[in-house]
Amino acid sequence: MAGSIPASATVDALAGGAPSRPQARWGTEAWRRFRRHKLALFGTIILGLIIFGVLVGPWLWKVPINDIDFNARLAGPSLAHPFGTDDLGQDLFARMLYGGRISIAVGLAAMVIAILFGVVIGAVAGISSGKVDAALMWLTDLFLSLPQLPLLLLIIYLFRDSLKNIVGPEMGVFILIVIVIGGFRWMPVARLVRAQFLSLREKEFVEAARALGASPFRLVARHLVPNSLGPVIVAGTIDVAAAIIAESTLSFLGLGFPPDIPTWGRILFDAKDYLDVAPHWALFPGTLIFLTVLSINYLGDGLRDALDPRKVM
Amino acid sequence: MAGNTGDRKTGDKPQAHGPGPVPLLHIRDLKTHFNTDDGMVHAVDGVSMHVHEGETLGIVGESGCGKSVTAFTVMRLVPIPPARIVGGEIMWRGRDLLKLSNAEMRAIRAREIAMVFQEPMTSLNPVYTIGEQIAEVVRLHEKAGRKEAMDRAVEMLKLVRIPHPEQRVKDYPHQFSGGMRQRVMIAMALSCNPKLIICDEPTTALDVTIQAQILDLLTDLKERMGMAVMLITHAMGVIAETAQRVVVMYAGKVVEEAPVGELFANPRHPYTQGLIRSIPRIDTAAIEKKRLEAIKGVVPSLLNPKPGCRFAARCPHAQPECVAATPPLRPVSLGHSAACIFAELPASKRPPRSIDASMSPVAPAAAVA
């Protein structure tokens, strides 16, 4: 390799004992920066605990989620029922652990879909000027101006049964809800990415990369996307929160998961009629949704700062 | 354009005087125009020049004279549209760069022709370490492994005299000063060992001491690596220190071309003469207490120009025949040519101006003051 440069002989001599230790990994550096962001660290720990809880919890807390016990209706928190019970005497702790899996999975999956769609559409629009850009932005505006709720009703009404037949009731509703929520939340991301691209693609370093032989795809993947990720990460964390809440809205309308599947939104919805006699019923899912959303937002904030090397931390 | 196959053997070129090796890069009658709302801007209008292997060609001219557009056209980096390459050819080692596919052109960039930009502060991607950025160029063009490419990055940093290159490869661009970043840009440009490096005002954004260091470095690297340099600048001082041959551009055209010593000693075009007179001189200024001379007027608009010498509006010797037809670039002595009807006459023997400014072929952007 050195031989290809005439000057290498001298350079090699100079470089002599240059230590060839591996370059500091990008991840290590980002982690060092992330750790300094106290709130983000706090958010990560809380979120980690919640995710760990809902993943492992149902195996440790073996009370069935649909065990009806009318003797313990609307009971407050106790040792037998740490989060109390609902109007059928079902154990809320077990239902929360089980429902958390679904709520968090819906939130994350919908976020991934929204970000994926948004980044791809925004990137294509931002890099190609003229007709393609205009067409994609029309599409974005179209989606933004659609009346979402009636459309959601229609889509779910049309496809719920056929999907249920293919992948089973629970999975079918999950896929449908994720696609519906994700499919209606990509527009802000697309606009963000496009706006970033429009300013970034005129930057000198993009021109310099082009002058050094980078192909358009490489320009996008290596130079434009990494530089436009900051706002996308923040938008993504907001999307997770919005998806968890949107899922409860759908459950409220009877369009989400069936009533016997206890998602956090569903539990909250069921609790609303008993707020005066059993406030604990609404408080626990409400607090958990709140904590999850908040910690995801902090996590996103920290990620954005940690991944931006210009930020002095 | 069609009959260029014989040129390489016979050396039959419009501006290259005398026999000589086939030039590395030969631009012939290049025309790059920009389509704007107001009409066609003839930014580069029939420019010819050549660069020989291992030589430094200086291109000098005011802002907006088309030097950068020429360079960007060579790299095929002008945005099309609005730009349109109306005519001409860019012969690079036997191939016309204007006829290559985009993929073929990408393979030439950095490997054969590399470019260094004016603005080092923003020419590096802020989210990658400089090591990664140099290594990326190497990996892109030479299919080198990650480790190998990173070793090359260290080597290149050492070559451009960045202290502690083993540590500095891991730093991000914002941790470097402007001069250091320009060194990094040069390192990136040289990482694939190109035959020609185009420097578009590489020192304009830097302070004077750093300017000198960067120019020294360029000259040194040019000799060590045996490459040719195309140095675009508006500073005559930079040209005098660095270039072997100079092309003077004015309003989208080449007005004079000469070896550097000849150009400073014996400028033939009134524009070049004006440029040289407007260099501040510490020796005469101190004794004679004269005001520094400036070329009066401003660069004309290049929107739909009419035929005729484009410098006529500002020329102290302009005659009616100057605006009748564009004076061609014609040889004055070996390797020296100028596009002026008085090219052979010494400045003192040239008649004074005999036309008024409104007769200029280009829109009179500002009357002669």
Per-residue pLDDT reduced to its tens digit, B206-237: 778 888 888 888 888 888 888 888 989 888 88
- Alpha carbon of residue A229 to chain centroid: 14
Establish if A236 belongs to a structural domain: yes
Distance to chain A for B139, nearest Cα, Å = 11
Interchain proximity A204–B119, CB inside 8 Å:
yes
A60: part of which helix (H) or strand (E)?
A: helix A38-60
Tokens, residue A123: 């990137």
Would you say the C-alpha torsion A289, A292, A296, A302 has a positive or negative sign?
positive
pLDDT value for B286: 62
Establish if A199 belongs to a structural domain: yes
CB distance B361 to B306 below 8 Å: yes
pLDDT exceeds 80 at position B17: no
Q: Which of A1-10, B163-172, B231-240, B322-331 has the lowest mean pLDDT?
A: A1-10
B179 touches chain A (CB under 8 A): no
Mean local confidence (pLDDT), A259-283:
81
CB distance B189 to B197 below 8 Å: yes
Contacts of A213 in chain B (CB under 8 A): 106-111, 137, 140-141
Residue of B nearest to A223 (CA): B125
Task: List the domain range (segments joined by +) for residue A107.
Answer: 102-300
Residue A58: asked if its preceding bond is cis (omega within 30°), the reply is no
A71 touches chain B (CB under 8 A): no
DSSP A237-278: HHHHHHHHHHHHHHHHTT-SS-TTS--HHHHHHHHGGGTTT-
CB distance A86 to A271 below 8 Å: yes
Fill in the DSSP letter of residue B293.
Answer: P
**C-alpha to C-alpha distance for A161 and A169, rounded to whole angstroms:** 8
pLDDT value for A310: 67
The strand pairing partners of B232, in sequence order, are B59, B200
Would you say the C-alpha torsion B336, B203, B238, B215 has a positive or negative sign?
negative
pLDDT value for B340: 83
pLDDT value for A245: 78
Would you say the C-alpha torsion B319, B321, B322, B327 has a positive or negative sign?
negative
**Among residues B192, B217, B195, which one has the least CA distance to residue B206?**
B217
Interchain proximity A12–B77, CB inside 8 Å:
no
> In chain B, where does DSSP find H-type helix?
7-10, 67-74, 102-108, 130-142, 146-159, 165-168, 178-190, 208-225, 236-242, 260-265, 270-277, 282-288, 320-324
Q: Which residues 184-223 of B have a C-beta within 8 angstroms of A? A: 185, 188-189, 193, 221
Mean pLDDT of chain A: 79
Establish if A56 belongs to a structural domain: no
Mean local confidence (pLDDT), A249-266:
77
A12 touches chain B (CB under 8 A): yes
Establish if A158 belongs to a structural domain: yes
Establish if A5 belongs to a structural domain: no
Distance to chain B for A203, nearest Cα, Å = 7
Distance to chain B for A140, nearest Cα, Å = 26
**C-alpha to C-alpha distance for B340 and B184, rounded to whole angstroms:** 41
Interchain proximity A11–B122, CB inside 8 Å:
no
**C-alpha to C-alpha distance for B43 and B66, rounded to whole angstroms:** 5
Which of A11, A21, A212 to mutate to probe the B interface, most B CBs <10 Å? A212
Q: Work out how many domains chain A is built from and give that number.
A: 1
pLDDT digits (tens, 9 = 90+) for A17-46: 334 434 445 567 777 777 888 888 888 899
Establish if A295 belongs to a structural domain: yes
A6 touches chain B (CB under 8 A): yes
Distance to chain A for B95, nearest Cα, Å = 18
A2 touches chain B (CB under 8 A): yes
**What percent of chain B has a predicted confidence (pLDDT) above 90?**
0
Would you say the C-alpha torsion A201, A204, A206, A208 has a positive or negative sign?
positive
Tokens, residue B12: 């039959």
Q: Which of A177-181, A250-254, B253-257 has the lowest mean pLDDT?
A: A250-254
ipTM for the predicted complex comes to: 0.70
pLDDT-based confidence at A139, cuts 50/70/90?
very high
**Among residues A24, A203, A96, A201, which one has the least CA distance to residue B130?**
A24
pLDDT value for A21: 39
The strand pairing partners of B257, in sequence order, are B247, B337
Pairing of strands B95-96, B228-233: unpaired
**Structure-model confidence comparison of residues B102 and A113, the more confident one:** A113
Q: Which of A50-59, A79-88, B22-31, B159-168 has the lowest mean pLDDT?
A: A79-88
pLDDT digits (tens, 9 = 90+) for A153-201: 788 888 878 877 887 777 787 888 888 888 888 898 999 999 888 888 8
A18 touches chain B (CB under 8 A): yes
pLDDT exceeds 60 at position B10: no
Q: Which of A44-58, A78-92, B157-171 has the lowest mean pLDDT?
A: A78-92
What CATH number is associated with residue A165? 1.10.3720.10
**Among residues A101, A88, A29, which one has the least CA distance to residue A58?**
A101
- Alpha carbon of residue B215 to chain centroid: 15
Mean local confidence (pLDDT), B162-181:
84
pLDDT value for A135: 92
pLDDT value for B4: 42
**C-alpha to C-alpha distance for B112 and B152, rounded to whole angstroms:** 17
pLDDT exceeds 60 at position B368: no
Q: Which residues 146-165 of B have a C-beta within 8 angstroms of A? A: 148, 150-152, 154-155, 158-159, 165
pLDDT digits (tens, 9 = 90+) for A54-78: 888 777 877 777 777 777 777 777 7
Q: Which residues 79-98 of B have a C-beta within 8 angstroms of A? A: none
Interchain proximity B75–A211, CB inside 8 Å:
yes
**Which residue among A7, A14, A209 places its CB closest to the CB of B225?**
A7
Cα→Cα distances B218→B110, B183, B212, B301, Å:
16, 9, 10, 34
Establish if A22 belongs to a structural domain: no
The pTM of the full predicted model, rounded to 2 decimals, is 0.71
Tokens, residue B39: 């009409």
pLDDT value for B285: 59
**Which residue among B111, B123, B165 places its CB closest to the CB of A213?**
B111
Establish if A274 belongs to a structural domain: yes
Mean pLDDT of chain B: 79
Return the CA Rg of chain A.
25
Mean local confidence (pLDDT), B55-70:
86
Task: Count CB neighbours of A203 within 10 A.
Answer: 18
Fill in the DSSP letter of residue B303.
Answer: B
Angle at A92 between CA A91 and CA A97, to 5 degrees: 110
pLDDT value for A138: 92
First-last CA distance in chain B: 42
The amino acid sitting at B285 is A
pLDDT exceeds 80 at position B201: yes
pLDDT exceeds 50 at position B367: no
Contacts of B225 in chain A (CB under 8 A): 5-7
Interchain proximity A5–B103, CB inside 8 Å:
no
Pairing of strands B25-36, B83-92: antiparallel
